[in-house]
Amino acid sequence: MHVRRSFVVNRPIEQTFDYFADFENTNEWDPGTVETRRTSGDGGLGTTYTNTSQFMGRTTSLTYETIGYDRPTQFVCRGRNKTATATDHLTFTRDGERTRMDYRADFDFRFPINLLAPLLFGRKLQSLADETVEQIQDVLNR
């Protein structure tokens, strides 16, 4: 399963990339995040984070690792726990003084959850993606 959104923020590309490459900033821009903490690394490839999120009334924790880092155009972070893998792909394109963002979140669930995931989570994930874009724009367009 995945969600994908494209939108523009009123910040230069380098500043936008740096903000998202510090995955601890999910505390500000991801409405599902309760807390994200860096656990190792310098922010580049291989940096790890512990993320606690709430989704559909449940709290879950994932360990994220930065697996893609190409400043200022691409950042990819993959989170795992015993039941799921979530991968956030962020691509940044210069749009004058602004930045166009392409955001894709992929969710892979372990068997047997993967069989029901589209029915159980599909609509809520789409709604959460819309909320996430609104929150990102609110935070970065201030």
pLDDT for position 73: 98
pTM: 0.87
Q: How confident is the model at residue 114, as a pLDDT?
A: 62
**Angle at alpha carbon of residue 8, lines to 7 and 12, rounded to 5°:** 145
Which helix (H) or strand (E) segment holds residue 108: the answer is strand 98-109
Structure token pair of residue 33:
């995040």
CATH for 2-140 (3.30.530.20, 3.10.129.10, 3.40.50.720, 3.40.50.11540): 3.30.530.20
pLDDT at residue 44, rounded to an integer: 95
Token pair belonging to 36: 């994200």
Domain limits, the chain: 2-140
Structure tokens given for 49: 């984070």
Q: For the residues 123-141, what does the mean pLDDT come to?
A: 84
CA angle 115, 119, 123 (to 5 degrees): 135
Percent of the chain with pLDDT over 70: 90
